[in-house]
Amino acid sequence: MTVSIKKGRALSTLSLTPLIDVVFLLLIFFLVATRFEEEERSMEVELAESSQSLPLTAQPKTIFINVLKSGKYMLSRQEYTEQGLLDYLKSHNSQPVVIRPDRGVIYDYVVKARHACRAAGIHDFKEAVINPGSREQ
């Protein structure tokens, strides 16, 4: 003869006590964390001034130097010599630079563009090339 056991209702319902405890702990954590953040922002700090500084939200505009086969440099649709390039870069030395050499250009002109970047105090410069596998034929 089999014995049938009746399960009570207590086992079939979900216990909410641990869930409520977790919710209260999270609520306390976020209240405390928000309070510390407000205190840090409200601290009176005098920041140093700089004429070269940019706002943190503004991304600097990238300068593209196109190196032509003739040894001239094109920036913003204007042609520059080596000295003109150096003068331009000195006045825009807070911006990143991408050097784009023409196919078949004498590499000496690219080296001079890189040297002009370093002389102007620009250390964030790259040389752009095309991946031969990505070109359509």
pLDDT tens-digit profile of 90-112? Answer: 988 778 898 888 877 888 998 99
- Considering the domain architecture, whether residues 83 and 115 belong to the same structural domain is answered as yes
Give the pLDDT confidence score for residue 24 in this predicted structure. 94
- Kindly give the residue spans of alpha helices, DSSP state H, lying in 59-122: 82-91, 107-119
Classify residue 10: in a domain, yes or no: no
Domain that holds residue 85: 63-131
- Examine the domain organization and report whether 77 and 120 are in the same domain: yes
In a domain, 1, yes or no: no
Query: Is residue 20 in some structural domain?
Result: yes
- pTM of the entire predicted model: 0.52
111 and 71 in a common domain = yes
Residue 33 DSSP symbol: H
* pLDDT tens digits, 25-66: 999 998 887 776 655 555 455 555 656 655 555 566 888 898
Q: How many domains does the chain have?
A: 2
Same domain, yes or no: 68 and 113: yes
Q: Which two tokens stand for residue 10?
A: 């207590």
Domain check: are 89 and 125 in the same one?
yes
Instruction: Give φ, ψ of 111 to 5 degrees.
Output: -65, -40
